Amino acid sequence: MKTQEKKPQIPVFDTPAYKLLGRGSQALSDAELLSLFMGENVELARTTLLFNFQSLRELFLADEEDFKALGVSQMTYVQLRAVLELCQRWLGEKLQRGEPLSDPDAVRFYLSSRLRDLPSERFCVLFMDNRHRMIAFEELFNGTIDGASVHPREVVKRCLYHNAASVIFAHNHPSGVPEPSQADERITQKLKDALALIDVRVLDHFVVGDSVVSFAERGLL
């Protein structure tokens, strides 16, 4: 009677989990990291998730139905959504530790993580105290960013509510092109003029697309 040949077992120290513990998470490929949510099946992660979604960005934009169509478990979808949410909360906490916002790259990264992949335009405000420490982050308006949809009086009301000394504006361009439009420039000036009446400074306005553009760096403030 012929004995069935066994597939060679991967040494335990070569698995993604042990690799991470021994060499750090940066040593793992995208497929290896994803496999940690799929029973450490690297090939399944590579051929199912990465092959079909093409990139991590598209993977995290996918909904539950997209995962179901590929035969991927609901729990894998739930875990990946939880990871994404935890990352966004961690980035937010970094800005809310009571330290002045002295790192523009940290602000860019946070705003990009919150706004880049939203399907419609959102206008948000970072409220800060007189030491440039973050008080709150709020989404105030949803829809096309122009004079009709962004109301300076509402921004003034929220500044007074938070007792803010300065603000940073941010909105996204769902097209992915972050170039400020003339409408963006007009409403920014309108808001700047309104807030000057209550001694609140506008420090910057970021436009988020596939990259992030700063009004301050462009000399548009």
> Is 130 found in the same domain as 87?
no
Q: Is residue 7 part of a domain?
A: no
State the Cα–Cα distance between residues 108 and 137, nearest whole angstrom: 14
pLDDT in tens, 141-159: 887 655 448 899 999 999 9
pLDDT score recorded for residue 148? 47
The last residue of a domain, from among 72, 92, 112: 92
Q: What does the alpha-carbon distance between residue 100 and residue 185 come to, in Å, rounded to a whole number? A: 26
Whether residue 34 is contained in a domain is answered as yes
pLDDT given for residue 147 in this prediction? 45
- Pairing assessment for the beta strands 201-208 and 166-172 based on DSSP bridges: parallel
- Using CA atoms, how far residue 214 sits from 44, 57, 168, 205, in Å, is 41, 23, 10, 6
Phi, psi angles (nearest 5°) of residue 102: -95, -5
**Domain membership of residue 172 as a residue range:** 100-218
Q: Which residue has the tokens 């860019």?
A: 108
Residue 144: inside a domain: yes
- Tell me, what's the pLDDT at 57? 76
Within this chain, do residues 213 and 128 fall inside the same structural domain, yes or no?
A: yes
Q: What percent of the chain has pLDDT over 90?
A: 33
Task: Name the residue with higher pLDDT: 89 or 203.
Answer: 203
Judgement on whether residues 142 and 58 belong to the same structural domain of the protein: no
Same domain, 127 and 167: yes
How do 134-142 and 166-172 pair as beta strands? unpaired
Say what the pTM is: 0.68
Report pLDDT for 98: 59
Q: Which of 97, 202, 192 is nearest to 152 (CA)?
A: 192
Contact between 158 and 149 (Cβ < 8 Å): no
Number of domains within the chain = 2
Inside any domain, residue 118: yes
Residues 112 and 80 in one domain: no
Per-chain mean pLDDT for the chain: 84
Residues 49 and 125 in one domain: no
Residue 79: pLDDT over 60: yes
What amino acid is encoded at 204 in this protein? D
Q: Which two tokens stand for residue 21?
A: 């513990």
Same domain, 214 and 107: yes
**160: domain CATH number?**
3.40.140.10
- pLDDT above 70 as % of the chain: 86
Residue 92 pLDDT > 60, yes or no? yes
What pLDDT sits at residue 9?
Answer: 55
Q: Do residues 119 and 204 share a domain?
A: yes
pLDDT (tens digit per residue) in 35-64: 888 887 888 888 888 888 888 877 877 888
* Residues 88 and 123 reside in one and the same domain: no
Is 3 a member of any domain? no
pLDDT, tens digit, 9 for 90 and up, residues 9-30? 555 557 888 888 888 888 888 8
Those residues whose C-beta lies under 8 Å from the C-beta of residue 41, and which sit 6 or more positions away, are 35
190 and 126, same domain (yes or no): yes
